[in-house]
Amino acid sequence: MGMRNKQYTINLNWVIIIATHIRTCLRVHTTNLTLRIITLMQIHETTNLLLSNLDRTGTWLRITDQYIQAHNKDPKSFSLPKSYALLQPLIEAYANNPEGFLYYVRGIRDSTEKDSAAYAEVHTVFRRLNGRLTQQMRRERSQRATEKAEELYGTTGYHDRMQWVSQLEHSWAKRRISFLSTASGGVRLSLDERTELLIEFWDEIDTEINNGRRLPKWN
């Protein structure tokens, strides 16, 4: 029974990995598609290695995150030490794709026992990634809202624009709290439940920005 469950979790991660890459695979030339499939096979091997060495899984994922950031900062001079060659497929796959890496790490985490040390270590990596992605998306969302407001209302001065962004983000924060409170029904949400609800909430905000709805005029 134990071996069958372990094989199931590994296969489940393989499905997660394919799901995060299939859209990219469909967009590339046949030759590149072949290379992409090879990369997916390499990721599958790395995933099996991560799940077979649970005492090192959290450390390897933390190091992967560090090298992804180093790669994104200066890809031309990036060099991965040979001792971490097993992480190369993950770095190549998730460079400039923080959301994809976040979901990959969650898949790895959920393939471990919830009361294990491995789960706790991987969850720490997940929380760090989630926090950083949230901040990145906040900045990008505010920038898109500002650009849409300029399209609708014309340009304004720097200080007025910064004050407008601050007030807009404050209004989003109040709506977010109200949305989570209503959706949870007063029950404490897990991080994953909260994350999924926030995806729904921010999708609605993004739609409003794209359509120019609920964007106030400049102060």
Domain residue spans of the chain: 2-125, 156-219
Between CA 188 and CA 23 the distance in angstroms is 35
Between CA 203 and CA 90 the distance in angstroms is 27
Q: pLDDT by residue (tens digit) across 24-33?
A: 444 443 345 4
Q: What is the average pLDDT across 48-56? A: 93
Total-model pTM: 0.75
Closest CA to 112 of 51, 63, 55, 49: 51
Between CA 214 and CA 217 the distance in angstroms is 9
Between CA 144 and CA 68 the distance in angstroms is 26
pLDDT cut 70: percent of the chain above it:
82
Sign of the CA dihedral running 96, 22, 20, 9: negative
| Amino acid code (one letter) for 186 | G
Q: In this structure, are residues 95 and 68 in contact, taking their beta carbons and an 8 Å threshold?
A: yes
The pLDDT value given to residue 37 = 60
Q: What is the average pLDDT across 158-185? A: 94
